[in-house]
Amino acid sequence: MRAVIQRVTEASCIVEGRVTGSISLGLLVLLGIEDADTLEDLEWLAGKIHGIRIFGDENNLMNKALSDVDGGILLISQFTLYAATKKGNRPGFIRAARPDKAIPMYERMIERLSSLLGKKVETGIFGADMKVSLLNDGPVTIIIDTKNKE
């Protein structure tokens, strides 16, 4: 799994003119799932997302996690995080998981993050044409890949 995590002061997702999810202070998480991903990867990544300390403390140092600032999560499925770009100009997505694997993993990630956060995780709609807006705070953007745990 791959996640692009952005610290935001606000973020929202619109599908067909309807807001499907929105947050104020928190994290916009773009999540890519590949065929090789396991539930162990999901658990590890959920813990990292929930615990990552990228919010400012009283000294403006990044020492606080989501729970310390009562932040939210907007989770967006993003198969293009597995784009292969070595050959030609048209990206290939051979490593991205097919919907029959990706949808259950995405739904499980929503459940796991909601459990860790103690509140609903806002989302887009898997496979939809989504319009995602955000106000990146910092900017702070972190990329985490479960295949690079060590």
Which active-site residues does the annotation give?
80
Contact 102, 127 (CB under 8 A): no
Our measurement of the distance from residue 73's CA atom to the centroid of its chain's CA atoms, rounded to an integer in Å, reads 8
Q: How many residues does the chain have?
A: 150
* CA distances, 126 to each of 12, 22, 42, 67, 147 (Å): 15, 16, 17, 26, 23
Instruction: Say whether the peptide bond before residue 99 is cis (omega within 30 degrees of 0).
Output: no
